[in-house]
């Protein structure tokens, strides 16, 4: 027994590695009955398939969607697939909406087991959120930072809560421009996107560190979908009035990308697979992480900069007004 206890972590790691090499699929998701999951941006693409598979395996899934009509259409698709879910309005670009969503969750779901911070925008023209933030940083990072903090009491009611934050390989191009975080001096849409995806990883890793310091069971991990065919690639070009770029993006999706269902697998692994540990990052395992079964992947040196992570955390608390009191309350004296 002593030998087994001492070698159990290595054995579990070996088993987990073998499963990933064999090609983990949605069929490997364990039974999730009795668990509540929230997926942001669940009306289409990766978010929809994340919600679908979590619901298929028994979780009560809440769809957080900005557009009520698209959200209702997604809910109808789930019901047609013989799974049940709930729909709640959630605009991550409006902190009042985030707070209202969190209040509804607190009233109806005292315990949240899984939160998938999936919604996002990519390479859009310069815009502001309702609260005055640069739109990509505001939606991709600040909205999710606020949502996670507001839902933390419900997450900590679960025995093994997980927060999955969806980033991108584009985080490798990201630089945190703390002297111009909102792009007011200079805005480049791809640069802003890379910064927001780097912010996702800095947040995910810092949340894990703070949960461990407070000796709380929360697992914070990150995932990326690789190159998946969704409407994310075309939205920015369409908003910018660039039909040629939009056409190129559509062709790339048709010829090179994996399906949105396949792109959801890293998020699903991070959200539901046994043995996932806090601070890990999952993405596709083939062709430079663009496609294939999920595996644990590495992230840029900048994403592990703890000084930058703490600075971003402090700024995010100040901008959103959301402070993670539950982490402080759980900290040892």
pLDDT digits (tens, 9 = 90+) for 193-246: 999 999 999 999 999 999 999 999 999 999 999 987 666 545 555 566 666 554
Each domain of the chain, given as residue ranges in start order, spans: 27-226+263-327
Q: Is the entire prediction scored with pTM above 0.95? A: no
Average the pLDDT over 318-324 and give the result: 98
Question: 27-226+263-327 in CATH: which number?
Answer: 3.40.50.720
Mean of the per-residue pLDDT values of the chain: 89
Catalytic residue among 126, 187, 193, 227: 193
Q: How far apart, in Å, are the Cα atoms of 161 and each of 149, 267, 277?
A: 13, 15, 11
Per-residue pLDDT of 160-174, as tens digits, reads 999 999 999 999 999
Tokens 């900290």 belong to which residue? 331
Residues 6+ apart with CB under 8 A from 236: 121, 122, 123, 124, 125, 189
Mean pLDDT across 83-110: 97
Q: What's the DSSP call for residue 44?
A: S
For residue 126, count other CB atoms closer than 10 A to its CB.
Answer: 15
193 is annotated as an active-site residue: yes
Q: How far is 250 from 254, CA to CA, in rounded Å?
A: 6
For 136-158, the pLDDT digits (tens) are: 999 999 999 999 999 999 999 99
Beta strands per DSSP E along 174-332: 219-223, 281-286, 291-296
- pLDDT category at 254 given cuts 50, 70, 90 is low
């Amino acid at each position: 027994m002593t030998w087994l206890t001492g070698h159990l972590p290595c054995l579990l790691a070996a088993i987990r590695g073998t499963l990933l090499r064999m090609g983990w699929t949605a069929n490997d998701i364990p039974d999730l009955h009795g668990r509540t999951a929230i997926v942001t941006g669940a009306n289409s693409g990766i978010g929809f398939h994340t919600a679908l598979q979590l619901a298929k395996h028994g979780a009560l899934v809440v769809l957080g969607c900005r557009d009520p009509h698209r959200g209702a259409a997604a809910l109808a698709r789930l019901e047609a697939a013989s799974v049940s879910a709930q729909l709640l309005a959630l605009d991550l670009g409006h902190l009042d909406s985030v707070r209202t969503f969190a209040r509804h969750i607190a009233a109806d779901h005292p315990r949240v087991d899984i939160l998938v911070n999936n919604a996002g925008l990519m390479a859009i023209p310069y815009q502001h959120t309702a609260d005055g933030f640069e739109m990509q940083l505001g939606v991709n990072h600040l909205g999710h930072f606020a949502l996670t903090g507001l839902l933390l009491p419900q997450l900590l009611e679960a025995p093994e809560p997980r927060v999955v934050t969806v980033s991108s390989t584009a985080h490798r191009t990201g630089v945190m421009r703390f002297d111009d975080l909102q792009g007011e001096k200079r805005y480049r849409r791809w640069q802003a996107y890379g910064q927001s995806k780097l912010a996702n990883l800095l947040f995910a890793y810092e949340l894990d560190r703070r949960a461990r310091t407070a000796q709380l069971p929360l697992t914070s991990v990150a995932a990326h979908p690789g190159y998946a065919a969704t409407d994310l690639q075309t939205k920015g070009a369409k908003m910018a009035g660039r039909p040629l770029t939009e056409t190129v993006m559509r062709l790339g999706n048709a010829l090179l990308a994996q399906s949105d269902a396949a792109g959801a697998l890293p998020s699903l692994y991070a959200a539901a697979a046994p043995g996932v540990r806090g601070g890990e990052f999952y993405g596709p395992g083939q062709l430079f992480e663009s496609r294939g079964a999920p595996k644990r992947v590495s992230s840029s040196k900048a994403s592990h900069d703890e000084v930058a992570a703490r600075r971003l955390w402090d700024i995010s608390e100040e901008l959103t007004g959301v402070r993670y009191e539950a982490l402080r309350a759980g900290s040892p004296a």
